[in-house]
Chain A
Amino acid sequence: MASLAGLTLAVLAWPGSAAATAVAPSPKQVAGAFAATSSCGSLSGVGIAWTSTGAFVTSVALSSIPAGCVGGKLSLTFVGSGNASLASAGPVTVSGATLTLSSLTGSAVTTNVTGAYVSIVGP
């Protein structure tokens, strides 16, 4: 059965084959290409300090953001047990080595936070 499916795939893909008349792919053009990307700087050294209100993280102050990231869009996600997302903030444009995120979506109880991920797109 698997061999038949493979054979069908090969026939469909081969130019000039009449076996594709029952198939109407849309769109009929596909494209793929390679484009290299690089980080604006090492983000592993970004520092986090937070403000706790009651039991929750309500504001986050980031420090040591690489200079090459100024102008990029930064996002932050706090995770808990099992790497489950607890709360996130951004994207916010990086304007310097420090950045304060005061609007978080979700609820991060400080004692449940096991880590955080920072991502930057751009500049």
Chain B
Amino acid sequence: MIRVLAVVAAVVLASTGTAWAAGLTLSTAHLGASSVTTPTMYPMSVAFGNKNGGTVGKVQSGDTIGFVWSQQVDEASLCSGWSNSSSSQSLTLQWSVVNGASGAHDTLQVTGSSSTCVGGFHVGTIDLGAAGYDTSATSIDFPTTTNVLSVGAATTTLTVTLGGQVNGTAGTVGSGSAAIWTPVSTIKDRSGRACGTNLAQSTTTVQF
């Protein structure tokens, strides 16, 4: 009953001229919205550890870097010789601090090769957020760096401990920006989802 009367009232309002709609003008005729898929497999964090007793802001053997992916990594996508049948792996492989050209930030990356990881060890590159970690034109190399992978129930952690420092000249950085880890985009989780172009940034602005 109420519905019928309300409809009648609306018709009257629209037809008597006392309640008149001349038109409606929109500022735009384009209105769109959609749900979109958010990342599932991505780099969660990158964090630096200073060797006990070491100089803060200066890279040296014993310093550590921790990488965390959001999912259980397909280990073979990281290193061809690794298998998901084991939840932990260890590898000795050279990492280097590479001097940034023309004042660009120095970077940290894998520079060694291993027969275990044919095609490379696909961790990615870390922009260290400052130019002063390597004050020479040549890279600071760490040929006996240990790389320990631990696959947890939901995430994967890689702990890198730099070792055997040679070449280059390490400087001490007093201030800088957050480090940015750009992982190899093709690293996959165990459901085949790639890491894509997601990035992780450190919470620290001075590394090591």
Contacts and interface: CB of A to CB of B under 8 A. Distances in A.
B30 A123 contact: yes
Interface of B: 1-2, 4-6, 8-10, 12-14, 16, 18-39, 42-45, 70, 178, 180, 196-203
Interface string A36-53: 111111111011111111
A89 B58 CA distance: 37
A38 B30 contact: yes
Contacts of B2: 2-3, 5-6, 9
B8 A42 contact: no
- The majority secondary structure among interface residues of chain A is mixed
Contacts of B199: 49-52, 59
Interface in A66-112: 68-69, 72, 78, 110-111
A10 interface: yes
Contacts of A2: 1-2
5 contacts: A6-B1, A7-B5, A35-B25, A44-B36, A52-B199
Given A29-B18, A49-B42, 15 more contacts: A5-B2, A10-B5, A12-B9, A13-B13, A33-B21, A33-B24, A37-B31, A50-B42, A52-B42, A52-B199, A58-B201, A117-B33, A117-B36, A121-B28, A122-B28
A119 B28 CA distance: 14
Contacts of A110: 39, 42, 44, 70
A52 B36 contact: no
A113 B35 CA distance: 13
Nearest to B21: A31
A20 to B, nearest CB: 11
Interface residues of A, number: 58
A31 B20 contact: yes
Given A31-B20, A31-B22, A52-B42, A39 B31 contact: yes
Contacts of B30: 37-40, 68-69, 72, 120-123
Closest 4 CB pairs of A and B: A13-B9, A39-B32, A33-B24, A43-B34
A3 B29 contact: no
